[in-house]
Structure 1
């Protein structure tokens, strides 16, 4: 009887083992690195703000995962008698779903809350600093593909929509990739385009 139950359990677990194949993309990881936000604005001469980011994801089941990220970029300008500093930070939290299409290819869908905080600080000799802040909250939904062509490479492509109370809705596009030096450590790069804003990221990821 015990042997029959064991065999039955092994057959029941076989599809789940295939879904969680080690050669497929990992949904539990942490990463950090450099990021740059470029705004296409002729009036401001296409400003570029540089900074850093941290990001993580955790699989909460065979097909679900939660994720979060935070980035901060800034740029300083010289002005007559002082300086102007622009700073932008963006936290996000979300939940995602994966549907394996093969051992190395997943279809993904995710929903995220995104907040963007902007601050401008003007310092002038002999005067108090002038600080102005603004922010908005938005929701983002994307669909995409994640694939691991080989054991040490991974690529992803996503497209979706971003909308918030203080902004017009707009389309979002993301493309990225990873090269693994070991099963745990790898280098990642990503480009995200949201209307006139392009964000470039490059960092180190530890997958588990």
Structure 2
């Protein structure tokens, strides 16, 4: 295995090179210090750059992406560029460990719903949203039993959602009831995370959205 890793290093394997002494700063220039390793689910922790590409060429592509993000109905182009710059983006995250605010400025398109799902799939090879809802549906009956087992204020707060869960066959409503009930079960207020609006409340919705750090906005028909 020692020879295998040496050969990978000679061929420029990014995952090996990031832990070499040459890649570390003077304060971290020790073999066992600040070792960067993939977490359990990270199948593509730090992949090599695409053939024929350099960090300089991919940085130019990132700048192009910023301009493409300003255009409407441009999802296909954005998706292609995001896929091509994946290795460059991962190298930046692993080696530089940037702050979220700085990273959002450099890669704003990564924080769109479809790109979050795509990036998760690239890193773990697991479809995030599909797997989450599949597991939620599989465990929903047991979760309801646990929630029903609580008494006092928690039972009073979750009763309307538990009742709605039992009375409907709409999978989306059942998922919403479970998620709201879990939040209440954990002692939190579901209204702090899930915001309900009618289609006619666009102005209020936009104003509230600008004040939220993280929230789920649900738009319902009048």
Q: TM-score range by the shorter chain?
A: under 0.3
Larger Rg: 2
Task: Give the number of the structure with larger relative contact order, counting CA–CA contacts within 8 Å between residues 6 or more apart.
Answer: 1
- TM-score of the pair, normalised by structure 1: 0.20
- TM-score of the pair, normalised by structure 2: 0.20
